[in-house]
Structure 1
Amino acid sequence: MNGDATTAPSGTQPAVLRTDPILFAQGGDEAGDRLRAIIVRPAGEAAPSVSTDAGKAETYELVSLFGRTVHACEFRLPSGTGGSYEVDGERFHVASPAHPDMRIAYVSCNGQEEGDLDRGIEERDVLWQRLADENLREPFSLLLQGGDQLYADDVLFCHPEVERWQSLPKKERGAVALTPQITEALRRFYFDRYLITYTRPAFASLAARIPSIMMWDDHDIMDGWGSHPAAMLDSPVGRALFTAAREMFLIFQLAVQPGKTPAIGLDETGTNLGIAVRYPGLSIIAPDLRSERRLERVMGDVGWKVLDQAFAQTPKGDRILVLSSVPALGPRLSFAEFIADLVPGSSEYEDDLRDQWQSRTHRDEWRRFLALLASWEESGNGQLTVVSGEIHLATRGEMRLQGGGVLHQLVASGISHPAPSPAYPWVLGLLARFGESPLKGRKIRILPLPNYKTTYAGERNYLTIDRRNQTWSAAWELEETGRTDPVSI
């Protein structure tokens, strides 16, 4: 069913006309697990027929753009057992997150900065296929996608004037005027790139069977978005680029109409797109670390209000999984930033360093974020685990809490991004040896995966989280090494 295509107007990439259903988790309670699905069909074609054992689900038009219609529907499946739904006669089985024995998969960094569409799909999607095969053997209940679902950096070449914009010094980009043609080229680029991404076979198999919870990061917009000068971000083309990326993020990662607040969203104004998804005994909180990001901040006042609200509304005793698109626990980066300031030619790395919580610029915000995480467990509210990506490596971290507890961080990054050069994990491992204690009395340690020889694993990877009779553990699937031993969390 998925991936029917015709020639795109640009002549450079087939235009995807239809997709299999893509499921999104909306939370659940005793009445059932709430699900939303989006399905793409050619404009003018009849809407897909969706049904469950409870009957036909109403389908409505989410948006119609560029000769295609994104249809959406909402339905419930039984809590604790799961069930199945049917689209145009094809049935898909779904496991419930409310079952005592439950599995979660986590992925991030689905692409590469240049030439992502030029790679052979078998090489590119090795781990996606491995994850899809694993799901058919032992189903996952949730698919957490923690950032860079879309490597959209090629957006800078979608129109000659956008290409000219990116070639100028960052502080001079306001000189390029915005035209309706540029706006449409930007919107079409993101729209088409999502459909190409979502119709790759392994991903399509997973997305139709596991409800996703997604939060964006920079590459879903462009590399380093927010960690560049305001003159670039606020230039007419820069704002149009962000607006187009946000529009398509709402459609394809939060499954809502642009201009509407998602049911799992916490900010009615839409300034910040942080979300919270809740099931009995489990809350997934995903702060939006991009919408308000600037050189001097990670989140603005709205983002912090949203995050504080997410914690305040979490039932006491819930296990919380926090999706922090960049790692919350990591090595001190001030020395690396100091070197980048001094060494000629290293300015290209400044936005990567500024992206991190540990940047010297964000140190007060980092402390605030860590204090919020630590206070949940230290106040006796329940246990919390941070899951992160972004760095194209796998590792784990611990922060010792007052009273003897431990806050765990699990980093899995690079589901399809190529493994970095060996020097990269070595340098990060060296920095991690110095340790870090941004909160008094709460030491942070970065630790290797079980039985792994280095602190950071330089292989493509994904993460699995298992709950067995209320006991939680995590393991990494590494491209070359295979499955690690589980870690208790």
Structure 2
Amino acid sequence: MSLLLGPILQFRGINSNVYNVSALVVLPLGASSPSVKVPGGVTASKPLATADIPLLNPQYRVWRIDLKAPQDQAVASTYTIKIEGAEANFVVPAEGQSPRMAYVSCNGFSDPKDMEKVDRNNERWEHMWGSHQSKPYHLLLMGGDQVYSDDMRSNVSSMKTWFAKPFADRRKAAYSKVIEADLDKFFTRLYLEHWKQPEVAKLLSAVPTVMMWDDHDIIDGWGSYDEILHSSPVFQGLFATAKRYFRIFQQQLIQTHPHLKPSADTHPCAIPDTADGFHLGFTGLGELALLVPDLRSERAPDLTTPPARPTRIISPVSWDAIYAWLGKVKAHKHLLLMSSIPVGYLDLQAAEKALDLISGQQELEDDLRDHWRSLPHRDERKRLIMRLLDFAHAESCKVTLVSGDVHVAGACVIESTLSRHRNDGSGLIYQLISTGVVHPSPPVLAVQFLESIGKQQEQIDYGITGTMLPIGARGRYLIAARNWLAIEPDEDSTGKSRLWANWHVEGLKHCVTQVIDPVKPRAEP
């Protein structure tokens, strides 16, 4: 069998009770199109060649097969698809049933030394596979850092040379054909090697995914560097290359030659009229809707304030489009918003100010300035929170945020005590943090520092606060161990549309649980 990678399943929405899934496979260049066998009731498109990679010197061809699977009116259905002899087995929830979901982030190591801190790299993936075998998940939400590009600094010779240059020389250096070709080969190898690991590959071929990137899918801290570096030819070229491979592997879109404009191929659940990026919206998942904004593609600086750093996370045009989509979300009990970085979290502003006084702290500064609570992002964050609270109240829909990025598990509640929110529960937005599935937690001293500020309540606005919840042992706010998160609808009719958030933490026998109740229905006038 010549299959190099796959099948990797991706969820592409529900239309008229038809579950849309695509499957990605990679074959050697020159091999015939992949053979596909589907069971009765399922239809498969003709295999579509989406890219030849590396794009500048192709050796492999990426294929996508679009699948349509009907939803049974009463029970969940299991489908087995065979592509090039390899199997993809996935479960489609019954019509009107909310999906059982697993969430992961930080699927790799930012430093090779981190590997020495763990016994088995993919232990949490193995654990998730066991849970899936016991009771299958319908969707796998991957919230960022699906791959780690960090070792390009040392393993890509042209980039190693560039990073060694003085800052002023890096700023002026051209994005040469050598650098472009090196990064093209690097990202091809990165995805192929990382996603074919057996523990990861099993889940990717068994649960349709929804993926959104974060900084390590590009480069650590992307969007938080000084503008003179952010807009430099090499950094912009690096971003363009990472974006092409994000399109190919994480969004399963057609990608033409790198020097041509991207294909008009878009994800079927892409939110229309956005300025850029890969903002996604899914409705009709039983009682659930899912919003997946892209927090990396549109980062831009305020050029009026030196030193100019990116202060915008999403453009106003895209926010308008996202809110327009949200205005059409009706008759759902829950809205789940995947934000790659937490909206509700600890206040790291004091640490950020301290770092301003210390030279040589570029990497730590980038991590702090990435976050929603970083000072340049707070107004944008406040507007997001206000719009979500208004939506929750207007539509009687409970909003829950799920995030990764910070390498610990935690939970926060954003609470409005304004009169209109007091009695129905719409004023409570839970923030669930699950990270990392592979990356180890921060050093003990760093976690202790973070714990020390966990009890501080944030005053977001008049009548609106943010509070970390004590979910760890002995009342601690953070769980410093690798983990993955299950988000499961209550199947008991007495549960009244509750969601159960269960953190599966390495080293713990039992889950850590947060119950999320729906908004109370309004009394008839």
d(CA) in 2 for partners of 1:373, 1:222 = 30
- Asked if residue 274 in structure 1 is aligned to residue 262 in structure 2, the reply is no
After TM superposition, the structure 1 = structure 2 runs for residues 173-212 of structure 1, keeping only pairs within 5 Å, are 173-212=170-209
Residue of structure 1 in register with 2:443 after alignment: 421
d(CA) in 1 for partners of 2:87, 2:350 = 54
CA positional deviation for 1:56? 4.8
CA contact (8 A) 1:128 1:203 kept: yes
CA positional deviation for 1:193? 0.4
d(CA) in 2 for partners of 1:330, 1:118 = 27
Residue of structure 1 in register with 2:64 after alignment: 72
DSSP 3-state at the match of 2:267 = coil
Residue of structure 2 in register with 1:22 after alignment: 8
Q: Which moved more, 1:465-474 or 1:293-302?
A: 293-302
Residue of structure 1 in register with 2:381 after alignment: 366
After TM superposition, the structure 1 = structure 2 runs for residues 308-387 of structure 1, keeping only pairs within 5 Å, are 308-387=323-402
**Which of 18, 24, 33 matches 2:19?**
33
d(CA) in 1 for partners of 2:254, 2:154 = 27
Residue of structure 2 in register with 1:96 after alignment: 92
**Please, which runs of 5 or more residues in structure 2 have no aligned partner?**
256-261, 301-309, 492-496, 517-525
d(CA) in 2 for partners of 1:116, 1:370 = 38
Q: Which moved more, 1:164-173 or 1:20-29?
A: 164-173
- Asked if residue 105 in structure 1 is aligned to residue 108 in structure 2, the reply is no
CA positional deviation for 1:251? 0.8
Residue of structure 1 in register with 2:303 after alignment: none
CA positional deviation for 1:136? 1.5
After TM superposition, the structure 1 = structure 2 runs for residues 121-136 of structure 1, keeping only pairs within 5 Å, are 123-136=120-133
CA positional deviation for 1:456? 0.5
d(CA) in 1 for partners of 2:512, 2:109 = 28
- Asked if residue 60 in structure 1 is aligned to residue 48 in structure 2, the reply is yes
**Structure 1 residues 283 and 171: CA distance shift in structure 2, 3 A:** farther
DSSP 3-state at the match of 1:396 = strand
Let me know the Cα RMSD of the aligned residues: 2.3
- Asked if residue 298 in structure 1 is aligned to residue 284 in structure 2, the reply is no
Structure 1, residues 9-44: CA drift from partner, whole Å, max 9, x if none?
xxxxxxxx6112000001114431101111111111
**Structure 1 residues 209 and 270: CA distance shift in structure 2, 3 A:** farther
- Asked if residue 144 in structure 1 is aligned to residue 130 in structure 2, the reply is no
- Asked if residue 488 in structure 1 is aligned to residue 474 in structure 2, the reply is no
d(CA) in 2 for partners of 1:338, 1:393 = 23
DSSP 3-state at the match of 1:335 = helix
- Asked if residue 396 in structure 1 is aligned to residue 418 in structure 2, the reply is no
d(CA) in 1 for partners of 2:429, 2:168 = 41
- Asked if residue 430 in structure 1 is aligned to residue 444 in structure 2, the reply is no
CA positional deviation for 1:121? 10
**Structure 1 residues 222 and 394: CA distance shift in structure 2, 3 A:** same
**Which of 468, 473, 489 matches 1:467?**
489
CA positional deviation for 1:369? 1.5
Residue identity matched to 2:513 = P
Residue of structure 2 in register with 1:10 after alignment: none
DSSP 3-state at the match of 1:265 = coil
Residue of structure 2 in register with 1:412 after alignment: 434
d(CA) in 1 for partners of 2:324, 2:232 = 32
**Structure 1 residues 44 and 122: CA distance shift in structure 2, 3 A:** farther
**Structure 1 residues 183 and 270: CA distance shift in structure 2, 3 A:** farther
Count of residue pairs the alignment pairs up? 475
CA contact (8 A) 1:25 1:277 kept: no
Residue identity matched to 2:162 = W
Question: How high is the TM-score relative to the length of structure 1?
Answer: 0.91
CA contact (8 A) 1:274 1:287 kept: yes
CA contact (8 A) 2:99 2:286 kept: no
**Structure 1 residues 485 and 230: CA distance shift in structure 2, 3 A:** closer
Question: How high is the TM-score relative to the length of structure 2?
Answer: 0.85
CA contact (8 A) 1:142 1:211 kept: yes
**Please, which runs of 5 or more residues in structure 1 have no aligned partner?**
5-16
**Structure 1 residues 64 and 74: CA distance shift in structure 2, 3 A:** same
CA contact (8 A) 2:18 2:71 kept: yes
d(CA) in 1 for partners of 2:171, 2:201 = 40
- Asked if residue 262 in structure 1 is aligned to residue 284 in structure 2, the reply is no
d(CA) in 2 for partners of 1:399, 1:376 = 14
Residue of structure 2 in register with 1:12 after alignment: none
CA positional deviation for 1:438? 1.2
CA contact (8 A) 1:28 1:79 kept: no
Structure 1, residues 151-181: CA drift from partner, whole Å, max 9, x if none?
1112234543322222234454232222222
Residue of structure 2 in register with 1:82 after alignment: 77
- Asked if residue 43 in structure 1 is aligned to residue 29 in structure 2, the reply is yes
**Which of 230, 234, 246 matches 2:231?**
234
- Structure 1 segments, 4+ long, off by >6 Å, are 116-122
CA positional deviation for 1:215? 0.5
Residue of structure 2 in register with 1:444 after alignment: 466
Structure 1, residues 409-431: CA drift from partner, whole Å, max 9, x if none?
11001100012212222222222
